[in-house]
Structure 1
Amino acid sequence: MAKRIQFSAHGGPEVLEFVDFQPAEPGPLEVRVRNEAIGLNYIDTYFRSGLYPLPSLPSGLGTEASGVVEAVGDQVTAFKVGDRVAHAGGPLGAYSQVHVVPAAVLVKLPDSVSFEQAAAVMLKGLTVQYLFRQTYQLQAGDTILFHAAAGGVGLIACQWAKALGVKLIGTVSSPEKAARAKAAGAWEVIDYSHEDVAKRVLELTDGKKCPVVYDGVGKDTWEVSLDCVAPRGLLVSFGNASGAVSGVNLGILSAKGSLYVTRPTLATYAVPAALQGMADELFEMIASGKIDVEISQRYPLSEAAKAQTALSGRQTMGSTILLP
């Protein structure tokens, strides 16, 4: 037997239960991993609340973890028992001591990256990789806007942008978070609690605005994000931290300068053929010191509800991990 977090009804963090379960044997193309560390992400709250649909209830939760392979299916050739691995995809259930996942979502973890670093960075780091290197290929000298720059994704984005020679303007909600974003490599920060974001972007870009704006907040920042995109520029709406964007009038894109909008997901970019290469680029950024993985909060797996409450209440900075 092992322990995991599951929920039987949608709702707030209070629906999460810490229960015993019997880990399954891996199927022909699956791997069973004993988790050493587990990542906490906003997408977990979307599944818990019902924003994102589930196949059935009760359900496990979580898509990101790192650990050691303890069993492999008879058709798996890329991994063996004892391998250090990590993943940021696959079936829900990473909030667990033991998790069975498809081999196709796993990557090999080099010794230069710890289990805690991997669990804290896989989803967030691969997200920044596809945002900066694939959705829009940033070039040195670009000036971009990135919302929630002191969050888990944001702090990685600040560091990666600096490494690329990109001027990242980050939005934050407090002086403390502004200092964190600046320390991580943000070129400038805007405290939206008392500053007009669109006006400041105009000032910082000499009226040109940004060729690309990255928005993981969603509903609350949708309109201001559009106001910060240069004509024929791109708004990348990649998250719903404040709720989903809905009721969009496409005419607003023409009115604001023939803008482009995309709503990407990691799953579309991190296909099996590309996944290890994306992860290797991320791991090299960590090993070289260009990205420092900041783990600001650690919770026992049994306190997953408490961890999610802190995350949703914007009481966290950097990454949060659960320890089984």
Structure 2
Amino acid sequence: MSAVATTRAVRLHAAGGTEGFRVEELPVPAPGPGEILIRQTVAGLNFLDIYHRRGLYPLPALPTVIGAEAAGVVEAVGADVTGLTPGDRIAWAGAPYGGYATHHLLPAWRALKLPDAVGDDMAAASLLRALTVEMLFTRVRPMQSGETVVVHAAAGGIGRMAIAHGRRLGLRMIGIAGGAEKAALARAAGADLVIDRRAEDPVAAVQAATGGGAHLVIDGIGGDMLARSFGMARRFGMVASLGEAAGRIPPVSVYDLGPARSIALARPSVIGFISDSDAYRSAGTAVIARMADGLVVPVGGRFPLDRIADAHDRLESGLGTGALLLDTGA
């Protein structure tokens, strides 16, 4: 199929450090049946991108363009595409990856139309995080009003999104943050209780505050923290392990879970969750409606394509307090 456009893209040539990135001009094929071509204005940066870059979560082939969410405008549609026309504002998340580029070709079912109340920055900063929270509270462990949730990295994007949405659902939300500044952000998001892990033992603090532990513990830290998260869950509760920001998780024995503790461990993938088109459309519609109602992740910084290394360094540092965006406007 002949190229109808070119895209300026950050392509990953080798797994490892940011030296594997190169900014390149690439051809973009015309959309085939069931496909659309998006002119992207802004992409969201996620720790998933770090895992892809490092090779922790292998990609099908290199070189490739990564990036799991973006917002923009439909530029062209292929045959058999209904409900979308050039000029429509949309956001998307999931595979095929390609957020780090000015243009992206993707299946039409990936496109979620944006209402006027949801700007491109808002969508790119919040979509994948909101879908993750939706997955946790509806699919991984359907939550009931009055139940307790502990969320690590409570000042981060997923943390603040989980706190705000959990409060709307009538959940008791306990945030764990590192340092007074991040603890204040978690409180501002609406947490019922915030534990500063630098000032007190979070396991003892959770147990003291709950009288037995939480119904759900959301752990995106990984490393040695996951074993400590087991101690924060109540009997027949669950720990959801989302990531490995602090490093690879040591092997877990089933005896770490029970029978004495009688807890469950989930290792869910939001990319897996939204690989099903019906689940994606249903969850996407719900979270965009919540964005229009103000449930969004604040933007903590933005970078042009040619500063992708700086963007990844900032994301990995853990020093940010909001979503990072990549300007991809063509």
TM-score (norm 2): 0.94
| Alignment partner of 2:303 out of 299, 312, 317 | 299
- Which stretch shows the higher mean deviation, 267-276 or 305-314? 267-276
The residue number in structure 2 matching 1:286 is: 291
Displacement, 1:256? 4.3
Matches within 5 A, 1:105-144: 105-144=110-149
Superimposed CA distance per residue, residues 180-209 of structure 1 (whole angstroms, 9 cap, x where no aligned partner): 01001111111112310100001111x221
The residue number in structure 1 matching 2:155 is: 150
SS at match of 1:22: strand
CA distance in 2: counterparts of 1:138 and 1:298, whole angstroms: 34
CA distance in 2: counterparts of 1:33 and 1:27, whole angstroms: 13
The residue number in structure 1 matching 2:9 is: 4
The residue number in structure 1 matching 2:3 is: none
CA distance in 1: counterparts of 2:254 and 2:153, whole angstroms: 25
The amino acid that maps onto 1:66 is A
Closer, same or farther: CA 322–133 of 1 in aligned 2, 3 Å: same
| Alignment partner of 1:66 out of 58, 65, 71 | 71
Displacement, 1:293? 3.0
CA distance in 2: counterparts of 1:172 and 1:211, whole angstroms: 19
Displacement, 1:139? 2.0
Matched length: 322
Which structure 2 segments of 5+ residues have no match?
Answer: 1-5
SS at match of 1:23: strand
CA distance in 1: counterparts of 2:324 and 2:260, whole angstroms: 37
Matches within 5 A, 1:15-30: 15-30=20-35
Matches within 5 A, 1:224-235: 224-235=228-239
The amino acid that maps onto 1:253 is L
Displacement, 1:125? 0.8
TM-score (norm 1): 0.95
Alignment check: 8 A CA contact 1:300 1:322 kept: yes
The residue number in structure 2 matching 1:254 is: 258
Closer, same or farther: CA 79–174 of 1 in aligned 2, 3 Å: same
CA distance in 1: counterparts of 2:107 and 2:147, whole angstroms: 38
Alignment check: 8 A CA contact 2:36 2:106 kept: yes
Displacement, 1:228? 0.6
CA distance in 1: counterparts of 2:260 and 2:233, whole angstroms: 8
Residue 52 of structure 1 pairs with residue 57 of structure 2 = yes
CA distance in 2: counterparts of 1:209 and 1:132, whole angstroms: 18
CA distance in 2: counterparts of 1:88 and 1:190, whole angstroms: 32
Matches within 5 A, 1:189-208: 189-205=194-210, 207-208=211-212
SS at match of 1:80: coil
Alignment check: 8 A CA contact 1:161 1:185 kept: no
Superimposed CA distance per residue, residues 245-271 of structure 1 (whole angstroms, 9 cap, x where no aligned partner): 242111111154111111111133222
Residue 240 of structure 1 pairs with residue 244 of structure 2 = yes
CA distance in 2: counterparts of 1:132 and 1:88, whole angstroms: 19
Closer, same or farther: CA 300–165 of 1 in aligned 2, 3 Å: same
The amino acid that maps onto 1:2 is T
The amino acid that maps onto 2:233 is V
The amino acid that maps onto 1:22 is P
Superimposed CA distance per residue, residues 262-288 of structure 1 (whole angstroms, 9 cap, x where no aligned partner): 111113322211222212221222222
Superimposed CA distance per residue, residues 159-190 of structure 1 (whole angstroms, 9 cap, x where no aligned partner): 11111121111111111000001001111111
Superimposed CA distance per residue, residues 35-66 of structure 1 (whole angstroms, 9 cap, x where no aligned partner): 01100000001111110112211111101001
Alignment check: 8 A CA contact 2:45 2:326 kept: yes
The amino acid that maps onto 1:69 is V
Alignment check: 8 A CA contact 1:232 1:260 kept: yes
Residue 172 of structure 1 pairs with residue 177 of structure 2 = yes
What is the root-mean-square deviation of aligned Cα atoms in Å?
1.4
The amino acid that maps onto 1:281 is A
CA distance in 2: counterparts of 1:211 and 1:256, whole angstroms: 16
- Which stretch shows the higher mean deviation, 93-102 or 255-264? 255-264
CA distance in 1: counterparts of 2:255 and 2:92, whole angstroms: 39
The amino acid that maps onto 1:32 is L
SS at match of 1:113: coil
CA distance in 2: counterparts of 1:51 and 1:26, whole angstroms: 31
Identical aligned residues as a percent? 38
